[in-house]
Amino acid sequence: MHNKQFEFLKSSYHLSSDIQEILGFINDELPPAAPVAELLFKAKIIVTELLTNSLKHAGVNSTIINVKISEHDLSIIKIDFGNPLSLIQKNYPVNTKIPISNDILHTLYAILDSGKNIHFFCDEINMEDILAVENIVEHFGLLIITKAADKFTYHYNEQTKENLFEITIKF
């Protein structure tokens, strides 16, 4: 297991170099048999969205990215103390598939489990009407992470106000 923690202060974000720093670690530590190009592509778009999410949302002063690499898994964990995802404030029933966005291309779902973790996944939709472009959503952050990951979970700790995004890619 290889593990490294990166901390980025919002006041000094340099997205491109911050992302490259993380990708450099992943590239160095992946096992020789791992599909390196595919994993680096997925890690790049996931880390980009995680850091962009911190930049966009109020209350985030710093972001911690923790990368763990084991024999068959790459985990990327983001922790910040900004405002929680609005999903957490809705009283969704436990273990129920809730569509949180829907267009002609995808339906993105969230499932809240009994441990107050939100799991994201999506279905692709068979596009029948190419002209219905006005129906396409303009927010892709959660969708990109969901589609690049094998597992994507969000947890908000009400006591510590910690947002934790955990992404796993299997290889």
Partner 1 sequence: MIKIIKDTENHLLIEIEVSEANLNNSDLFKAQVIQLLDRHEKTVIIDFNKVEYIDSSFLGALVAILKHAIGMKLDVILVGLRNDVHDLLKLIRLDKVFKIFGNYNDAINV
Q: How far is the CB of 131 from partner 1 (least distance, A)?
A: 8
Nearest C-alpha neighbor of 1 from the set 103, 71, 102: 71
Q: With respect to partner 1, which residue has the nearer C-beta, 105 or 164? A: 105
| C-alpha dist (Å) from residue 70 to 11, 21, 30, 34, 99 | 32, 19, 8, 11, 32
What is the end-to-end Cα distance of the chain in Å, rounded?
Answer: 14
**Residue with smaller CB distance to partner 1, 9 or 130:** 130
Q: Shortest approach of partner 1 to residue 81 CB, angstroms?
A: 20
Alpha carbon separation from 170 to 2, 42, 56, 70, 148 (Å, rounded): 15, 11, 28, 10, 11
**Closer residue to partner 1, CB minimum distance, 16 or 89:** 16
Closest distance of CB 106 from partner 1, Å: 7
CA–CA distance, 146 with 164 (Å, rounded to integer): 15
Name the minimum Å distance from CB 147 to partner 1. 5
Binding site for partner 1 (CB under 8 A): 15-16, 19, 41, 44-45, 48-49, 52, 55-56, 105-106, 124, 127, 130-131, 133-134, 136-141, 143-144, 147-148
Q: Please give the full DSSP string across 52-66, using - where no structure is assigned.
A: HHHHHSTT-SEEEEE
Nearer to partner 1, 55 or 94 (CB): 55
Q: How far is the CB of 3 from partner 1 (least distance, A)?
A: 26
Task: Select 91 or 126, whichever has its Cβ closest to partner 1.
Answer: 126
